[in-house]
Chains A and B, each alone.
Chain A
Amino acid sequence: MSNNRALKIILMSSAFLLVAACLSFAKTSHKEYRDASPEDCRECHTGSGVPENHGAFFIDTHRVLAEKAPGNCADCHPQSFCLDCHNGGGVTPDQRKSLSRRGEYMPKTHRSDFISIHPVKAADNPRHCYRCHEVTFCSDCHSRQIRQDRNSMDIKPHGPTFVSPGVPNPAWVSDHSASARRSLQSCQGCHPQKADCTNFACHPNLQGR
């Protein structure tokens, strides 16, 4: 069923592309400008009608541009330029970059003590984290912290409470479900196993693994 829907979307998109293909225009290659300064870019773009894009918020907005075919970024940047931020590389070590607790170079977006502020910053567009980190990145640190010293995580107690044996407190149920709906992805950090949710017989017939 879902495959049929995907097929329909692809067919409709392809049809749209062909209908839209009514003009022919040579796309500008930026390879010859790869060594130009941002000021030089501005001079050209000011008169071209296309606003420059490497501005104050380019760290926030570059993703959409970078994911387009055929990959304009490569006109000026080698792949290492991307990977040194996204995957902790450092062949051209940057004085402005801090190190993580594992000794990896962190992107400049990871300000002050990111371990302390990450629960707040991760909420600003929850998908940001997963553009670089696998789920195991969270659970690796959280699970170890739980084993070593659960209290030092300073997370508000959120285990189930019961009004009588086997009967969960309605207030807890409400709070728990609202929190899970808002930020279910963050639950994976400490609760990667299905058993974490089936332990208390709250979700006894949970599918998946």
Chain B
Amino acid sequence: MRIIRIVVILIAVACVPILSHAAEGMVTSSTQALWYNDFQSQDTDQNDIAQYLKLDVKKLDKEGKINLHGYGRVIKQTSTSVESRPEIAEDTYGRMYYFYLDYRDAIKDHLNFRAGRTYVNAAAVSGTIDGLYLNCRNLGPVGVTLFGGRNVLFDNKTEVGTGGDAIIGMSVYLDTVKNTHIEASYGRKYSDSDLARENVGLDFSSTPLEKVNLYGRMQYDTIGDTIEELLFGAKVAPVEKLILRGEYFQSHPTFDKYSFYSYFDVNDYDEVSITAEYQLTSKYRVSGKYAREDFGDDATANLYGIGFLARPIKDLTLNASYENRNGYTGKLNGFRVNGVYTISKAAISAGVDYDDFHRESSRDGTAKKYWAGVNYALNDTFSAVARVEEDINYNFDHAYQGFAALNITY
């Protein structure tokens, strides 16, 4: 029934521009064939057919304040797979990512709202809801957001959760001070009608001096009476084309209120990181990162990374990066190289991933991935995309996966 409901909604959504003469609508459709490898299935070669549909209808009213947005998909799994959970053991799955009415200036200069299935986010809580999001602007120097509704939980291909899963939240924000944003937020999550999480979030960012940006974030778990997440950072551009960033991040593992895991003692995770990126010329950029990770009880790790972005000629973009991690839970040493070249209406891309890893509590190995893809735009309405990939790793000596898609936008 859920699949039928989603299909009907998608078709109805696609018809809205026809029924509403004043509106401007855009529909994006993508029909796809996917093939991939599931190492846990009896037959590792898996195949799906997917239909995506996205709709944006603008100017439903004369003033152009009311818009409608919808996005969903239906997937038919054409191969056989054995799932551990009966609720996802079907071979046809539907998912509605969002479907909401967006009303700007419902009260001029003071109220915007979204109603329906929509994504909401705040420092305290975030997620997809079937509900309402209100943004009350210009209330003196501050604005207030309020949101609430059924919490939509996406999982492997389908939705999980019950009618008792919910999110409510609010935030008070100030961004009328030049280049400064201050925000306090509060949110709750319910699972099966039981309170699972209650958080308070504080956000701050400011650019007090030219080229110096300071920011911070705190998320406080009121149930566990602990600071769940703490972040302080500074971004500095000491000379033109050079951006330096330093961050301190701390997190404390937390669990739903009813979980027995919430009764155990845990260590904080601390991370200090610095990054630098330099735009050598308009065509070349280099970047580097170092992070020191501390898991408590003398367990640490060091992470190093460098990256290079090049656009040597107008239609060619190349990316290369190297990462080295050594410490608690294991070692990783690997690189990624990829590029995209545009020829008239086509874009051809290809790449290689290589990782040499050592899992502290288990095994060593290497993982290689080679891939190539092409995107061809026949005209403004029709385009096609295809990708093929070869994987050589612990689970597969040589495995192939990819997709082919026909996109229509009208």
Contacts and interface: CB of A to CB of B under 8 A. Distances in A.
B84 A112 contact: no
Residue of B177, B181, B275, B402 ringed by the most chain A CB atoms within 10 A: B177
Contacts of B382: none
Interface string A171-196: 00000001011111101100000100
B32 interface: yes
Contact of B253 (A49, A100, A184): A184
Given A23-B176, A27-B176, A57 B258 contact: no
A104 B157 contact: yes
Given A154-B362, A181-B297, A182-B295, A13 B229 contact: no
A119 B261 CA distance: 20
A178 to B, nearest CB: 5
A208 B156 contact: no
B246 interface: no
Interface in B190-237: 198, 200-203, 205, 207, 209-211, 213, 215, 217, 220, 222-223, 225, 229, 231, 235-237
A2 B225 contact: yes
A208 B297 contact: no
B301 A123 contact: yes
Interface string A82-118: 1100011111110111111111100000011101110
B290 to A, nearest CB: 12
B34 A119 contact: no
A125 B251 contact: yes
A30 interface: no
A80 interface: yes
The B interface is mostly helix, strand or loop, or mixed, namely strand
B144 to A, nearest CB: 8
Given A21-B141, A113-B367, A197-B260, A96 B293 contact: no
Given A46-B240, A126-B253, A127-B229, A70 B135 contact: yes
A113 B355 CA distance: 8
B177 A20 contact: yes
Contacts, number: 367
Contacts of A22: 177
A34 interface: no
A79 B34 CA distance: 24
A90 B32 contact: yes
A57 B222 contact: no
B264 A120 contact: no
A22 B176 CA distance: 9
A116 B260 contact: no
A117 B357 contact: yes
A80 B265 CA distance: 39
A150 interface: no
A179 B309 CA distance: 39
B80 interface: no
Given A20-B182, A98-B371, A117-B355, A87 B97 contact: yes
B245 interface: yes
Contacts of A5: 222, 225
A96 B351 contact: yes
A70 B53 CA distance: 27
B69 A78 contact: yes
Interface string A2-15: 11011001100110
Closest 3 CB pairs of A and B: A95-B373, A21-B141, A13-B184
7 contacts: A79-B118, A90-B32, A90-B50, A93-B405, A99-B389, A101-B36, A116-B365
Given A67-B123, A87-B154, 17 more contacts: A10-B200, A25-B176, A61-B245, A69-B122, A78-B71, A79-B118, A89-B52, A91-B52, A92-B28, A93-B32, A103-B77, A111-B369, A123-B301, A137-B155, A155-B361, A183-B329, A184-B266
